[in-house]
Amino acid sequence: MTESPALPALWPAPVAPGAVDATVTVPGSKSVTNRGLVLAALSSEPGWLRRPLRSRDTLLMAEALRAMGVGIEETASSSSSDASGGEAWRIIPAGLHGPATVDVGNAGTVMRFLPPVAALADGPIRFDGDPRSYERPLGGVIEALRALGARIDDDNRGALPMTVFGGGALEGGAVEIDASSSSQFVSALLLSAPRFNQGVEVRHVGAALPSMPHIRMTVDMLRSVGAQVDTPEAGGEPNVWRVTPGALLGRDLVVEPDLSNAQPFLAAALVTGGTVTIPDWPEHTTQPGDALREIFTAMGGSCELTDLGLTFTGSGRIHGIDVDLGEVGELTPGIAAVAALADSPSTLRGVAHLRLHETDRLAALTKEINELGGDVTETADGLHIRPRPLHGGVFRTYDDHRLATAAAVIGLAVEGVEVENVATTAKTLPDFPALWTQMLDPAAAPARRV
């Protein structure tokens, strides 16, 4: 990865000089990249990931798989299927083995998707990470894996750090799990299930499942490599997913742009009354970020999807919104930032689970927007936002990439916003400050590729 210049501890968020008019190429999807890495590592033959995201979360995933014996070669792409060129990773499956240590950082996909993989390895796999990772929900995955035959030592914490003692195989079968705190619990079991002796039947018990698009993404990607998956949407039982055991095929996957990471740039068009184009926006996708087309249009913009991508145009006015974000919770910080600049109140519902993300996102958004003069109130499952004139000040991010980009959105319209630790955006969106600056001034030198 190209070394980026050091960023200040407090990054002055630039105020928009006028309506933006820019084309922003967004790096690949973290969710697709990390699922693609896991599936390729478990396949029976080599595969390719083209245009993968290179960020902290995806590099942690790649290094963890390498530690367990998977070959991942990074090359320049020359495939005709990747006409724009760019980077490509060749993944060469091998016998999974320990001993090994996995650093999950603060990546939910790494800490949840890889313990089932580690259960298939031959030998112990130690999992550790950032201090915040110790507080994030993992007990559902641990207990489910034990019920399926895995041996795990977590000192009865139900959280990191822990060691998975892989036995080279896992029996699998039927298991109940409460995934109301994270849909990743379900995805974690489904991704490795074709390699379990009996496959898996995952039955969710508990409150409503959040972030269903991510489970649909997991199912679609499993099917694309040859897995047989029965789902509630396909006429199966509600909240039950079944995966049949079998070999996974190596494939050549071109990673879509990360539509959730396109959010701040689309928000810039809405906030400034300008126009932003995101190239290669897919016509059909399971990414939650695709909901931005509908949500931001309701808040005062318009969009057009063409062969070139998505062009979004702001009207010069921002309207409040009452919306259930339960399926697309990761969009909440950016929507809250826009709502704080709207002409009427907003209510964001269905996102109680955000209290368990990289930070307590509901508490953090409430505190930081209010400290800039806002009027945000936490509800049982979301936020109520009453727009007020905002002023400058420090916006703390709590090592949460989506808090940092939300602060940058507010800074477009509010002079003097300083973003604490904007470098945390490297978790999923490398070189965000340079991309942001270039969007506001397209004549500026282009951001270095990473």
Q: Do the strands 71-76 and 87-92 form a parallel or antiparallel pair, or are they unpaired?
A: antiparallel
Active site residues: 330
Q: What is the dihedral of CA 166, 171, 174, 177, to 10 degrees?
A: 0
Give the C-alpha separation, 88 to 279, whole Å: 19
Question: CA geometry: angle at 129 spanning 421 and 122, to 5°?
Answer: 150
Neighbouring residues of 98: CB distance < 8 A, sequence distance ≥ 6: 68, 118, 121, 122, 123, 124, 125, 166
- Residue 162 dihedral angles phi and psi, to the nearest 5°: -160, 170
- Residue 7 dihedral angles phi and psi, to the nearest 5°: -105, 145
Give the C-alpha separation, 275 to 253, whole Å: 30
On whether the CB atoms of residues 448 and 434 are closer than 8 A, the answer is yes
Burial (CB count within 10 angstroms: exposed 0-12, middle 13-18, buried 19+), residue 135: middle
Distance from the Cα of residue 154 to its chain's centroid: 26
